[in-house]
Structure 1
Amino acid sequence: MLKLSKYLLPYKWSIVFTIMFVFLQSLANLYLPTLMSDIVDTGIVNGNIGYILKMGIYMLLITLVAGAFTIIANYLSAQVASRFGRDIRYRMFSHIESFSLSEFDDLGTASLITRSTNDISQVEQVFLMILKLMIMAPLMCIGGIIMAFYSDAKLSLVLVMAIPVIVVTILLIARRGIPLFKQIQKKMDRLNLVLREGLTGIRVVRSFNRVDDELKRFDQANQDMTITSVKVQKIMAAMMPMMMLIMNVSTIAIVWFGGLRISHGAMQVGDLMAFIQYAMQIMFSLMMGAMLFIMIPRGQASSVRINEVLATKPDITDVLAKKTQNVSDIPNRGAIEFKHVTFRYEGAENPAVIDLNFTANPGETTAIIGGTGAGKSTIMNLIPRFYDIEDGEILVDGYNIATMKIESLRQMIGYVPQKSVLFTGTVKDNIRYGKEDATDDEIKQAAKMAEADSFIQDMKDGYDSLLAQGGKNVSGGQKQRLSIARAIVKRPLIYLFDDSFSALDYKTDAKLRKALKSITATSTTIIVAQRISTVIDADKIIVLDEGTIAGIGTHESLMDTCQVYREIVSSQVDKEELA
């Protein structure tokens, strides 16, 4: 947690004042038993009502002041801890946003969500406890011991016997409980993963009648976490009874031996009452220390997981380049060239694409087609540098994309992913996601070109209609058209359509591609598709087969020269119909 403590530096003065008020509160609480002793020994024993009232008012004032100190200290500590948690969450999210897809694959989305929420909350709570108790617990304990010895040194031998017993009890319980806290965090990751998969894949689950199986899967993960949680709670639950037992036995011993000392005239009643109060303060301070001692390892387990994310360096950064290029530095922007490009996913035995060589020029439509797993989407992921290649070069107008600023490179690209992604908000906001300052006219024009305007107008509030999470209240084809509109409104130099027409009917597909020709006349357009009808009119078709290029050319030339392409065509439509 020391690594995370640097995020507390902006709140150093709040922390200083918190410590100061906790210190004053502790001193006030330590002074109260002495005043009570004076009231009993001087006021009550002598029947001095004036003295009792005077000291009673004095005690009341000190109590009120101590209460004010407590309120201020709690407010400041809560404010610091909350803002600390806010800063860590922001830092973590912004860092995660810089990850390449390989880091997401390694850490897992479910684990990243748990670390960004539950783990940060755990650390936040620990820092809150530290600010409240780190000063109070030792001060109350040490101060209580000093005041107890000052009241009666011989009677303090009871505390000398009780304190080691309390400490040993805390250590034994913590030793068994702390490892289980680490297990809980990992099992929470698993529970979140199962929950996330079950909820996001609910359509598939229901369509295959696997609801009961998912319930069993969730119940297994839930039970696994519950068993561990119950086990650790049982261990922790033993602490309070044990502490109370020791405290009560200690109190009985203090009263017993204190009564003997009073009967022999070695101690006064007020001193015994004060001694009991100091003993309680010592015991409670040890309990607070125990709580802190238990929570710190739990927070430490969470902080390790947080630091693991913050310490993860993205594979793809501008720093990798010796000299980064801005878009403004690159003339005749748009042309893409693959030169002997080879790439494999981490952990994969074989490369996804091997020795790719092709160009995609501005004003041309380059289509990529091939069987499942041929590497089509991989190519689309390599152009915006979602992954870095293993060998070769990818050039944009002669500049290696590894030497370009990532932000500048991606500003040039309008990307429509294979799986359409929409965000919670209005239709207008989702299209404007492609261009933050897009006007309403630009949004509407982009929607018309994407063949989306008609169904948007039919929605209740038109462009101001709300889309549910993930666009669940629109069809698959409508989601694709909204995703395409989002890319069009950006008016990029490079359009990447990764199987973005698969959910459209043939008529809408043809109309949309015709509309795209007018806006992509000077842009580089790359289309990945499964349908022959989608790629048949492309200026250049690249045929992939198991990660390698089986042929490049127009539809007519590939029909003559590429066996793989002919097989794809024959599997979809009649050759004579296409001739």
Structure 2
Amino acid sequence: MSALIALRSYLFRYRVAMIGGFLFLIIANGVALILPYLIRLAVDSLQVRTDPGALLRFGLLIVLVGLVQAILSYYGRFIQAEVSRRIEYELRADLFKHFEKLELDYFQHNKIGDLVARAINDLTAVRGLLGPGISNLLNTTVAFTATIILMLTIDARLTIYSTSVLPLISVVFIVLARKIERSYKSVQDQFGEVSAQAQENFSGIRTVKAYTQEEYELHAFRTANQEYVRLSIIYARFYALLWPAMYFLAGLAAVILLWRGGLDVIEGRITLGQMVQFTGYLAQLTWPMIAFGWVVNLFQQGSASMKRINEVMDHQPTIVGPEPSLESTNEPLRDHLEGKVEFQHVSFSYGDREVLHDINITVEVGSSLAIVGPTGSGKSTLVNLLPRMFDVSKGQVLIDDVDVRKIPLALLRRQIGYVPQETFLFSVPLAENISFGLEALDTKRLQEVMQSAQLTKDVEDFPEGVTTMIGERGVTLSGGQKQRTSLARAIAKEPAILILDDAMSSVDTHTEADILKHLQRVMQGRTTIIISHRCSTVKNLDHIVVLDEGRIVEEGTHASLLQLRGLYAEMYRRQLIGEELEDS
């Protein structure tokens, strides 16, 4: 029942529809109990007189009652099914909304395939609990209770004999229920592993093929899949015990009824019609007994799945916007940032490992900053602190002299155009990828941003121009084309702060020079931060910071850093040697 407690807010919203569905089912069960009574009257009438007309009337009446019962059951089950679908829709929407709020670190520490499995398979199991689970639980409870009461009105002793085996059902459920729940959760967890492995392989299919690792990946997938099958078989073993137990107990109850009821008819304690009526009621008890096992299984599955969903929903986002204060309510709402950036004594750690230490940088409005340094020196981590992909461990990151943690997240990220190292494109036309995050982007502006990103010539070769579908994650584009598309997307936002995180690593030096030339106009009046391994990319920027092992080791202009003959000068010298070797 813990799953229902977690779903109480959803159930409360649909309480009227659920109560209506329950009423239909209760009335349907009441009508169904009339059928054995009509059969009893028909049988007893045969002992009094043989009137074919009376039998026909009883037959038509039984058909009519059955039809009414079927209609009522249909509406009751339909309403319950509709409610369960609507709750599933709302729960999936809320889960996706919660996913969108979670910080980047959460997705880096959880497998995407497993999260997808929770949003699909586990929600389906929860819907099974809400739909057939709850409706059959009610149906079973009402039918069982009402039938037992009517059986007692016929003959109490015969009822006790016939139902003496029913308590064994509870014993079976108590023994198996927890094992089923634990086993099903293990199955779902392993299914998440299988989904994650498949998703990872599909996303990295180019790498798998390039390194001819198809057989290795197939073996790894087969191992995970075999473990899923093994756990599924264990679950099936527990689940399979329920059904034979139900049929066995139902058959045992029927045998006891025939033995004891037959003796009572012979002794004249009950009539043959009552015996037939009693048999009809016992037959109606058979389905509730069997359905009870199914319902318990649905509840165990739904409960296990709801626990997995709650593991996500109970995780509170660590990156949240500022709480509105009494002072802020009197201030006019800001819809724009100027772009002054400051890092004041900033330190950042991944767990216990410090990757940035006491960083102090100031970037004035409209100026440009370059961040260079060896791989793993903390460059990308530093710029990720600006849009609050992560929060600082110590110190402050300020924009326009305001701590970024006090700026609404939507405003902060809307005013930052960020081109990451790993470009992500959606499975939509090229134009939609460039206009992502914008309500509209007219054709003229689209052409301008593509020109700035040196993408126009490539688009002319595409079969359908800017409406060309680029495939999942931009699989149909080259690395350079993907980076330039991402650059065009960032420029189209017209942000106050433009961040290029090694955004031209996949383009050649000539294309890079053309991009930088066109970016000069884009950068005018806009705070720009560029991370690059190529010193030629950043040599004309206003200020250059050199990071090494998370610390600022040098800073200045291109000329002043060369005069220091330090790390920057060594990087520049190596780049010149590399370019000479390429030209030769």
Question: Normalising to structure 2: TM-score of the pair?
Answer: 0.94
Please state if 1:334 is matched with 2:322: no
The residue aligned with 2:129 is: 126
Kindly indicate whether the alpha-carbon contact (under 8 Å) linking 1:338 and 1:359 is maintained by their aligned counterparts in 2. yes
Match of 2:262 in 1: 259
Distance in 1 between the 2:437 and 2:521 partners?
Answer: 19
CA shift at 1:332, angstroms?
7.2
Partner residue of 1:344 out of 341, 344, 349: 349
Which residue number in structure 1 is paired with residue 234 of structure 2? 231
CA contact under 8 A between 2:417 and 2:497: conserved in structure 1? yes
The amino acid of 2:291's aligned partner reads M
SS at structure 2 position matched to 1:467: coil
Distance apart, 1:167 and its partner CA: 2.6
The one of 403, 420, 431 equivalent to 1:417 is 420
Partner of 2:107: 104
Q: Aligned partners of 1:199 and 1:370: how far apart in 2? A: 33
Aligned equivalent of 1:12: 15
Q: Which moved more, 1:311-320 or 1:449-458?
A: 311-320
Say if 2:45 is the partner of 1:22.
no
Residue range with higher mean Cα deviation, 315-324 or 373-382: 315-324
Does residue 250 in structure 1 map to residue 253 in structure 2?
yes
2:307 to 280, 301, 304: 304
Compare 252-261 and 414-423 and name the one that shifted more. Answer: 252-261
Tell me how far 1:267 sits from its aligned partner: 2.1
In 1, the alpha carbon distance for the partners of 2:539 and 2:28 equals 81
Residue 3 to residue 175, structure 1, CA distance change in 2 (3 Å): closer
Contact 1:381 1:387 in 2 (8 A): yes
Cα drift, residue 492 of structure 1: 0.9
Distance in 2 between residues matched to 1:268 and 1:321, nearest whole Å: 78
Q: Spell out, residue by residue over 1:437-474, the C-alpha distance to the aligned partner (whole angstroms, 9 max, x if none).
A: 22122112111111111111211111111121111111
1:490 aligns with 2:490: no
Change beyond 3 A, Cα 1:32–1:576: closer
In structure 2, C-alpha distance between the alignment counterparts of 1:485 and 1:539, rounded to whole Å: 23
Judged with a 3 Å threshold, the aligned counterparts in structure 2 of structure 1 residues 473 and 45 are, in CA distance, closer, same or farther, namely farther
Task: Identify the match of residue 523 of structure 1 among 508, 521, 526.
Answer: 526
d(CA) in 2 for partners of 1:329, 1:470? 34
Match of 2:508 among 505, 509, 525: 505
Match of 1:271 among 270, 274, 293: 274
SS at match of 1:415: strand
Which stretches in structure 2 are left out of the alignment for 5+ residues? Answer: none
Within 2, Cα distance between the matches of 1:247 and 1:289?
12
Could you tell me whether the CA contact under 8 Å between 2:541 and 2:557 is conserved in 1? yes
The RMSD of aligned alpha carbons is 2.1
2:133/2:298 contact within 8 Å kept: no
- Retained in 1: the 8 A contact 2:336–2:411? no
1:327 positional shift: 9.5
Give the match for residue 154 of structure 1.
157
Counterpart position of 1:371: 374
Deviations, residues 242-266 of structure 1 (Å, cap 9, x unaligned): 2212222221221222222222222
Change (3 A) 1:261 1:575: closer
Mark the CA change 1:560 to 1:274 in structure 2 (over 3 Å): closer, same or farther. Answer: same
Alignment of 1:127-146 (within 5 A): 127-146=130-149
Runs of 5+ unmatched residues, structure 1: none
CA contact (8 A) 2:102 2:318 kept: yes
Report how far residue 130 of structure 1 moved: 3.3
On the 8 A contact 1:367/1:528 being kept in 2, the answer is yes
Which TM-score applies when normalising by structure 1? 0.95
Please state whether the residue corresponding to 1:537 is helix, strand or coil: coil
Cα distance in 1, alignment partners of residues 428 and 336 from structure 2: 38
Deviation at 1:532, TM superposition (A): 1.9
Contact 1:155 1:258 in 2 (8 A): yes
CA distance in structure 2 between the partners assigned to 1:174 and 1:3 by the alignment: 19
Counterpart contact for 1:371–1:544, Cα < 8 Å: yes
Matches within 5 A, 1:393-408: 393-408=396-411
**1:440 — aligned with what?**
443
C-alpha contact 1:540 1:553 (8 A) present in aligned 2: yes
CA drift of 1:226 comes to 0.8
The match for 1:207 is 210
Match of 2:292 among 271, 289, 303: 289
Deviates more, 1:269-278 or 1:79-88: 269-278
2:553 maps to a residue whose letter is A
User: 31-40 or 155-164, which moves further after superposition?
Assistant: 155-164
Shift of 1:138: 0.8
SS, match of residue 344 in structure 1: strand
Number of residue pairs the alignment of both structures matches: 575
Contact 1:110-1:189 within 8 A present in 2 as well: yes
Does structure 1 conserve the Cα–Cα contact (< 8 Å) formed by 2:81 and 2:132?
A: no
Distance 2:488 2:393 in 1: 33
**Residues 176 and 235, structure 1, Cα contact 8 Å, conserved in 2:** yes
CA distance in 1: counterparts of 2:160 and 2:400, whole angstroms: 85
- SS of the residue corresponding to residue 134 of structure 1 reads helix
Could you tell me how far apart the structure 2 residues matched to 1:32 and 1:368 are? 84
Note the alpha carbon deviations across 1:201-239, whole angstroms, 9 max, x for none. Answer: 222222222211111111111111111111111221122
In the alignment, the residues of structure 1 paired with residue 538 and residue 324 of structure 2 have an alpha-carbon distance, to the nearest angstrom, of: 36
* Residue 138 to residue 477, structure 1, CA distance change in 2 (3 Å): same
